[in-house]
Amino acid sequence: MISRFNNYNLTHHNTFGLPASCDFFVEYDSVPDFQAFLRENPDFAQTPHFHIGGGSNLVFTDHYRGTILHSAIKGKEVNESADDVLIKVGAGEDWDGFVEWCVEHGYYGLENLSFIPGEVGASAVQNIGAYGVEAGDFIVEVEAVCLSTGELQTFDVQACKYAYRHSVFKAELSGKYAVTHVVFRLSKVFKPNYTYGALQATMVAKGIDAPTAQQLRAAVIEIRNAKLPHPSVLGSAGSFFMNPVVDEAMFLDIQKAYPQIPHYAAPQGVKISAGWLIEQCGWKGKRVGNVGVYDKQALVLVNYGGASGKDVKDLSLRIVADVKEKFGIELRPEANFI
Ligand code: EPU
């Protein structure tokens, strides 16, 4: 089925709760229906369009003059073998509902990605990550429809080019494909991964030394609840900026002045905590009109109610400028401005 709306309100399609609308909103719940829509609209790929998921990484700055696409493709197809399982999931499934279902069914690997807002399709575009795990670590292939030809194509994990919060669908193929299904390989044998500082500390505090998958999921949910605002309570897009990666020489320079700077090894240098950089600039917990920097995690910008996308953008630019001036590092948003 295809649902089409004109002049559509997007306020409930972004977790920031920003007021926005679009000329056209098109939602589809199967691949053949979406292909039929593209056949009826052969120039669609040449017209302004943007594909959303759960809207948990979006900042709408204006009315969108074009079509917003949304997948409502649901369903899970399970293919079990002795030790592992392949699960093909519809792009429109709720991400955390999927993770919860996996834990309940004894399919392991995604526990650390519990409670992340958003949908399965976006997880494969954004390569969502938390507590030492990224979605791309478990993705086998991604099925996507080409918006110009209507052809359904399969991308194996190499073709997806996963890196930190990055994939081919965000880069060279941006705006060209609609992800319809994602295939994950999960294990039937549980191997807990709780080396990430905050997760390990929670396990120690609870006196748990061999957590079950349910306990690991519960700990992740507890940490996220303590550090990140829930979209139903306070609008936000989770981490607003990515953690910057700088070269070794630059890192050592900054570390000389700030020996306590939190950092991690990264493929192209040293990853620095953006939340810490923002906190050092005095922004943590600050409010500017209807927007502000969350008091429990400086990487999160929040909407106290009534904010516009421009308010969020202006605040983010002030933060970027201050971090640049103090540390010489240019923060890049993880959130997408539309
Ligand atoms: N820190 C501060 N001040 C702050 C926030 C963080 O000093 O206000 C320092 C602390 O030293 C802390 C360290 O930064 O120990 C790391 O903080 P945290 O564990 O909260 O993680 P993060 O690097 O700020 C990233 C992801 C989150 C993910 C967590 C856990 C990005 C952009 N963000 O945040 O992802 O949940 O790690 O793995 O990589 C998201 O992408 O929306 C998101 C929430």
Domains of the chain: 2-71 (3.30.43.10), 76-187 (3.30.465.10), 235-337 (3.90.78.10)
Q: What does the pLDDT read at residue 274?
A: 98
Are the C-beta atoms of 142 and 182 separated by less than 8 Å?
A: yes
The ligand 1 atom nearest the CA atom of 241: 32
Q: Encode pLDDT of 40-66 as tens digits.
A: 999 999 999 999 999 999 999 999 999
**Ligand 1 center–CA 228 separation, angstroms:** 10
Determine phi and psi for 250, rounding to 5 degrees: -65, -40
Predicted confidence band of residue 299 (pLDDT cuts 50, 70, 90): very high
Give mean pLDDT, residues 187-208.
95
Q: What does the pLDDT read at residue 82?
A: 94
Are the C-beta atoms of 95 and 120 separated by less than 8 Å?
A: yes
Q: What does the pLDDT read at residue 184?
A: 99
Predicted confidence band of residue 32 (pLDDT cuts 50, 70, 90): very high
123 lines ligand 1 (CB under 6 A): no
In SS3 terms, 35-81 reads as HHHHHHCCCHHHCCEEEECCCCCEECCCCEEEEEEEECCCCEEEEEC
Predicted confidence band of residue 258 (pLDDT cuts 50, 70, 90): very high
| Cα separation, 246 vs 272, whole angstroms | 8
242 lines ligand 1 (CB under 6 A): yes
Predicted confidence band of residue 15 (pLDDT cuts 50, 70, 90): very high
Q: How far is CA 306 from the centre of its chain?
A: 24
| Cα separation, 53 vs 121, whole angstroms | 7
51 lines ligand 1 (CB under 6 A): no
The ligand 1 atom nearest the CA atom of 274: 24
